[in-house]
């Protein structure tokens, strides 16, 4: 397991989005990045394609202010070519070079293969495939560890089973609503991999609750799930704890999860996450949640089987 991992990892998919270099909005984003990098949490998670590269650029400005040691807290991901969709060894090396140039660092603690949907599994694992590029970077010492980060459980199970990776990140598949990632996380742990669970709020539903416009896994919430979450909200109210705290701590308390990734893009959000993380939750609440029965998850990964 990666030794510097902590229970919470701070995600930056929206950091710097829409900002222009030198603008007041960029300065605000840099201040947010400084806050993340100086927090108690071990890692700040970004990617080559987050906010069109602005996430890494803003983090790079923050690292320049704080010093090179702050760069050790940043983990990133390689992405396919944004114009052609090419995702092979050469693209991985270019993606990495783009990342370290933006960040102003020479190496990374962890680098993920990110959303490998433009290539098949066999192409990614081939002699000149994306995974070969990641292994090359690890063997050269430019990264300490490599991982795979995506969502569909059947696809992620195949990548984990290769034994090629040191870490795995799956989003929206281990929450109060959907626990389909559990077997993959268990397999990863048996292999000594570090497990990151991202999107514990299900992309919003488990923060807002059953409200008009709420989404789960970035999609509208069906009526049966809406009703189930209304029941969950009643349980939370009965124990006087916020729904979001319960959603976050569901992931934090699981022995299958080493670190839970939560998105932080605006000032104050990191402090809010810390407050939710530290909120006392009565043990009896978890029994009441179990009594609701399984949630009717809308996720269907069968096409990846």
Q: 51-67 pLDDT, tens per residue?
A: 999 999 999 999 999 99
Q: Is the pLDDT of residue 266 over 90?
A: no
Instruction: Indicate whether 118 belongs to any domain.
Output: yes
Mean pLDDT value of segment 8-21: 97
- Provide the residue range defining the domain that includes 31: 8-202+244-281
Mean pLDDT value of segment 65-80: 97
CA atoms within 13 A on the CB side of 185: 23
Instruction: Indicate whether 49 belongs to any domain.
Output: yes
Instruction: Indicate whether 293 belongs to any domain.
Output: no
Would you place residue 276 in the very low, low, confident or very high pLDDT band (cuts 50, 70, 90)? Answer: very high
Would you place residue 72 in the very low, low, confident or very high pLDDT band (cuts 50, 70, 90)? Answer: very high
Mean pLDDT value of segment 170-184: 98
Q: In this predicted structure, what is the pLDDT of residue 145?
A: 98
Would you place residue 278 in the very low, low, confident or very high pLDDT band (cuts 50, 70, 90)? Answer: very high
Instruction: Indicate whether 45 belongs to any domain.
Output: yes
268 Cβ neighbours under 8 A, 6+ residues apart: none
User: When comparing pLDDT for 277 and 214, which is higher?
Assistant: 277
Would you place residue 265 in the very low, low, confident or very high pLDDT band (cuts 50, 70, 90)? Answer: confident
Would you place residue 3 in the very low, low, confident or very high pLDDT band (cuts 50, 70, 90)? Answer: confident
Between the alpha carbon of residue 83 and those of residues 49, 79, 91, 118, the distances in Å are 12, 11, 12, 11
Q: Which of 148, 81, 53, 64 is nearest to 110 (CA)?
A: 148
Residue 73: give its domain's CATH number: 3.20.20.100
Q: Is the pLDDT of residue 272 over 90?
A: yes
> What is the number of structural domains in the chain?
1
Mean pLDDT value of segment 86-113: 98
Q: In this predicted structure, what is the pLDDT of residue 277?
A: 97
Mean pLDDT value of segment 231-243: 98
Instruction: Indicate whether 86 belongs to any domain.
Output: yes
Mean pLDDT value of segment 203-210: 94
Q: Is the pLDDT of residue 201 over 90?
A: yes
Residue listed under structure tokens 């829409």: 18
74 Cβ neighbours under 8 A, 6+ residues apart: 37, 43, 44, 46, 59, 63, 103, 105, 108, 109
Would you place residue 1 in the very low, low, confident or very high pLDDT band (cuts 50, 70, 90)? Answer: confident
Q: What single string gives the DSSP state of each residue in 125-163?
A: HSTTBHHHHHHHHHHHTSEEEEEEEE--HHHHHHHHHTT
Separation between Cα atoms, residue 140 and residue 135, nearest integer Å: 8
Would you place residue 221 in the very low, low, confident or very high pLDDT band (cuts 50, 70, 90)? Answer: very high
How many C-beta neighbours within 10 Å does residue 69 have? 9
pLDDT > 70: percent of the chain: 100
User: Token pair for residue 40?
Assistant: 């108690």
Q: What is the overall mean pLDDT for the chain?
A: 97
Would you place residue 198 in the very low, low, confident or very high pLDDT band (cuts 50, 70, 90)? Answer: very high
**Interval 122-152: pLDDT, tens:** 999 999 999 999 999 999 999 999 999 999 9
Q: In this predicted structure, what is the pLDDT of residue 203?
A: 87
Instruction: Indicate whether 214 belongs to any domain.
Output: no
Residue listed under structure tokens 């959907």: 178
Q: In this predicted structure, what is the pLDDT of residue 151?
A: 97
Q: Which of 11, 6, 60 is nearest to 36 (CA)?
A: 11
22 Cβ neighbours under 8 A, 6+ residues apart: none
**pTM value?**
0.97
Would you place residue 268 in the very low, low, confident or very high pLDDT band (cuts 50, 70, 90)? Answer: confident
Instruction: Indicate whether 30 belongs to any domain.
Output: yes
Mean pLDDT value of segment 94-98: 98
Separation between Cα atoms, residue 175 and residue 225, nearest integer Å: 13
């Amino acid at each position: 397991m990666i030794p510097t991992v902590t229970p919470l990892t701070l995600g930056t998919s929206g950091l710097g989005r829409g900002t222009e270099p030198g603008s007041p909005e960029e300065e605000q984003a840099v201040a947010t990045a400084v806050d993340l990098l100086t927090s108690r949490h071990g890692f700040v998670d970004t990617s080559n394609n987050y906010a069109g590269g602005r996430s890494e650029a803003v983090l790079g400005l923050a690292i320049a202010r704080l010093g090179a040691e702050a760069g050790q807290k940043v983990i990133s991901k390689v992405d396919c070519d944004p114009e052609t969709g090419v995702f092979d060894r050469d693209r991985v090396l270019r993606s990495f070079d783009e990342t370290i140039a933006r960040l102003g660092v020479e190496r990374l603690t962890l680098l993920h293969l990110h959303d490998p949907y433009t290539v098949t599994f066999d192409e990614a694992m081939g002699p000149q495939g994306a995974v070969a590029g990641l292994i090359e970077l690890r063997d050269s010492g430019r990264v300490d560890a490599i991982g795979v980060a995506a969502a569909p459980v059947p696809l992620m199970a195949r990548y984990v089973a290769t034994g090629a990776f040191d870490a795995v990140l799956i989003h929206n598949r281990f929450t109060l609503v959907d626990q389909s990632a559990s077997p993959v996380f268990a397999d990863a742990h048996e292999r000594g991999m570090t497990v990151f669970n991202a999107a514990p709020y299900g992309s919003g539903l488990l923060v807002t609750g059953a409200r008009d416009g709420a989404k789960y896994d970035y999609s509208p919430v069906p009526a049966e799930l809406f009703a189930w979450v209304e029941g969950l909200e009643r349980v939370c109210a009965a124990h006087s704890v916020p729904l979001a705290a319960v959603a976050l701590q569901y992931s934090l308390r699981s022995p299958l999860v080493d670190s839970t990734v939560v998105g932080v893009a605006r000032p104050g959000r990191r402090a809010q996450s810390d407050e939710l993380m530290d909120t006392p939750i009565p043990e009896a609440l978890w029994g009441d949640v179990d009594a609701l029965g399984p949630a009717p998850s809308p996720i269907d990964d069968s096409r990846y089987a």
